[in-house]
């Protein structure tokens, strides 16, 4: 390696370290305390979203998966000792998730465990008891991380109970898991993407090979159905036998493609399988077709027919961009940390520099102007996960 190239890589690594530490500091010192103070409902659970002055949005119903996401965030923080009161916040979220969140499994009479509900009212009463695969994925993820943080026997039991429930009632003869207890269409890759994540997290919590075998099933679906080779993208919607819906004008989400980059590298590392070709393909396609050149942010959605179906930029796809860059770095792309550093700096400047320290702007328009009216709690899951990844790189993992 030439001296100039070696020096360039050191400078890139130094810039990444600087930006990464800024993001880690923001999470530890601003976001975690802010959401523990303003996001927690003293009567139970977390508020669905906050206004920009830190007050809760008292008109939004509560998605159970958001409660699971907040449990994940503070369980992760607890396991990493990022925030002194993270154990209190994670236990608060877990109590609500594992009590109010599990209401009414009447669709499955006689079951000792029947998964989590879909939607609650502000007072914690049941609004929608639908058992949805997307929601169960986050119940599983929260259980895995709460177990890692606390060694809770209840969390350990829910890892296995949730998995058994999904396998018993939601497995499809055509592969994967159906959408929900109503077997709705279209079928989607998104719940499977999060099940993939939850199975990998459950393996790392239990070291039970069963979870890697379940992840193998989803990797198989990714290769045969979700990944569209001609367009180097992830497709979102399918019929009951995994035939893409409206392929000519199919809508593509660059954020999901970046999320798959991260998940595939994680899976490949655990399974010792070659995934680099998929990661590179998805990354370059998302950047070439899904990056707003004016703002430098990923857009929400484009169509395969060449049109921009949603040119706004939500916060969460940018966190997935950072994670994808780190995954590419682990796969040998030495310049990927510089790309991550640039996005972290832009994230802190345009999305995370809010009047209430620890809050965020959830969406920008195509010109970079604020296009959101509040702070959804669901976004913290994406941010905390990105912070974990940059923290791991800083510490040499």
pLDDT at residue 1, rounded to an integer: 40
CA distance 116 to 101: 5
pLDDT at residue 9, rounded to an integer: 53
pLDDT at residue 7, rounded to an integer: 37
For helices 64-80 and 379-394, give the axis angle rounded to 10 degrees.
Answer: 20
> Look-up: residue for tokens 């949805």?
132
Q: If you classify domain 8-394 with CATH, what class do you get? A: mainly alpha
CA 385 to chain centre: 7
The vertex-20 CA angle with 40 and 290, nearest 5°, equals 85
Cβ(19)–Cβ(345) below 8 Å: yes
Cβ(322)–Cβ(386) below 8 Å: yes
pLDDT at residue 257, rounded to an integer: 98
Question: What does the DSSP assignment read for 78-126?
Answer: HHHT-STTHHHHHHHHHHHHTTGGG---TTSTT-S-----SEE-TTS-E
User: Cα-atom radius of gyration of the chain, to the nearest Å?
Assistant: 20
pLDDT at residue 84, rounded to an integer: 97
Structure tokens at 157: 């039991």
- Taking the alpha carbons at both ends of the chain, their separation in whole angstroms is 23
Structure tokens at 112: 């000792």
Structure tokens at 318: 């940018």
Neighbour count for residue 111 (Cβ, 10 Å): 15
Overall pTM surpassing 0.85 (yes/no):
yes
Which neighbouring-strand residues pair with 291? 298
Helix, strand, or coil here: 285?
helix
CA 341 to chain centre: 20
> Look-up: residue for tokens 């965020």?
360
The vertex-80 CA angle with 197 and 46, nearest 5°, equals 70
- Taking only the tens of pLDDT, the chain with its 397 residues reads 443 444 345 556 799 999 999 999 999 999 999 999 999 999 999 999 999 999 999 999 999 999 999 999 999 999 999 999 999 999 999 999 999 999 999 889 888 999 999 999 999 999 999 999 999 999 999 999 999 999 999 999 999 999 999 999 999 999 999 999 999 999 999 999 999 999 999 999 999 999 999 999 999 999 999 999 999 999 999 999 999 999 989 999 999 999 999 999 999 999 999 999 999 999 999 999 999 999 999 999 999 998 999 999 999 999 999 999 999 999 999 999 999 999 999 999 999 999 999 999 999 999 999 999 999 999 999 999 999 999 999 999 8
Q: In which region does residue 303 sit, left (phi positive, over 0), alpha (psi from -120 to 50) or beta (all else)?
A: beta
pLDDT at residue 4, rounded to an integer: 43
């Amino acid at each position: 390696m030439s001296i100039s190239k070696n020096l360039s890589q050191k400078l890139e690594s130094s810039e990444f370290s600087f930006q990464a530490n800024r993001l880690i500091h923001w999470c530890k010192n601003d976001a975690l305390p802010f959401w523990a103070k303003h996001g927690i409902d003293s009567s139970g659970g977390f508020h669905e979203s906050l206004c920009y002055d830190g007050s809760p949005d008292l008109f939004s119903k509560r998605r159970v998966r958001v409660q699971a996401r907040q449990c994940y965030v503070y369980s992760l923080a607890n396991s990493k000792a990022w925030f002194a009161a993270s154990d209190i916040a994670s236990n608060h979220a877990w109590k609500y998730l594992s009590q109010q969140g599990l209401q009414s499994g009447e669709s499955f009479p006689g079951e000792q465990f029947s998964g989590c509900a879909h939607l609650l009212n502000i007072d914690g009463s049941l609004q929608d008891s639908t058992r949805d695969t997307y929601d169960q994925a986050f119940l599983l993820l929260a259980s895995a991380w709460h177990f890692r943080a606390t060694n809770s026997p209840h969390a350990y039991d829910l890892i296995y109970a949730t998995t058994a429930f999904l396998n018993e009632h939601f497995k499809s003869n055509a592969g994967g898991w159906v959408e929900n207890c109503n077997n709705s269409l279209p079928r989607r890759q998104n719940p499977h993407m999060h099940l993939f994540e939850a199975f990998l997290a459950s393996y790392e919590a239990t070291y039970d090979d069963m979870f890697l075998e379940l992840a193998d099933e989803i990797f198989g679906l990714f290769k045969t159905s979700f990944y569209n080779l001609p367009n180097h993208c992830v497709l979102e919607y399918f019929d009951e036998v995994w035939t893409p819906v409206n392929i000519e004008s199919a809508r593509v989400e660059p954020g999901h493609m970046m999320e798959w980059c991260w998940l595939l590298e994680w899976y490949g590392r655990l399974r010792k399988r070659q995934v680099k070709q998929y990661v590179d393909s998805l990354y370059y396609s998302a950047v070439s077709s899904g990056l707003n050149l004016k703002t430098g942010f990923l857009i929400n959605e484009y169509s395969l027919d060449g049109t921009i179906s949603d040119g706004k930029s939500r916060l969460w796809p940018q966190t997935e961009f950072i994670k994808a860059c780190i995954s590419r770095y682990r796969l040998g792309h030495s310049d990927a940390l510089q790309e991550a550093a640039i996005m972290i700096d832009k994230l802190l400047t345009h999305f995370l520099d809010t009047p209430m320290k620890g809050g965020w702007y959830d969406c920008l328009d195509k010109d970079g102007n604020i296009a959101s009216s509040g702070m959804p709690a669901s976004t913290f899951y994406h941010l905390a996960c990105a912070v974990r990844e940059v923290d791991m790189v800083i510490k040499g993992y």
